[in-house]
Amino acid sequence: MANPLPKGTFVVNAATYAWEVRHYAGATTPFEDARGISVGVSLEGVSRKELIIDFPFKDYGFGKPRSLKMLEDRIRKCVPLALAKGWEPETKGKPLRMDAEFLEDRPSMRK
């Protein structure tokens, strides 16, 4: 039986958020279209608008983060930034997908 994907919870501004790795890095064909880790975030216990954070492939490659704590810390930092950039977790609707580089305001290495 495969190991379940990691998940956890954390608190930001008195709200509890749940997160779960949606998928680890992968590619549809070798050396092309490589995608990094994607994580879904939502208010804990509320089935509303989910935030999907896509981490760049270059950050973790085909490996996993060195520790789940480091990944969770990075997710925790992205949540207030996503809220400031328009994510409304209490509304209904399709998930909002954002790149971690956009949220963290890091220059993109993608072409």
Amino acid identity of 93? G
Cβ(49)–Cβ(87) below 8 Å:
yes
Q: What percent of the chain clears pLDDT 90, i.e. is strictly above it?
A: 58
Q: In whole angstroms, what is the distance from residue 26 CA to residue 9 CA?
A: 25
Q: What digits encode the pLDDT tens for the residues 61-85?
A: 878 888 899 999 999 999 999 999 9
Q: In whole angstroms, what is the distance from residue 98 CA to residue 53 CA?
A: 5
Q: What digits encode the pLDDT tens for the residues 32-49?
A: 677 889 999 999 988 889
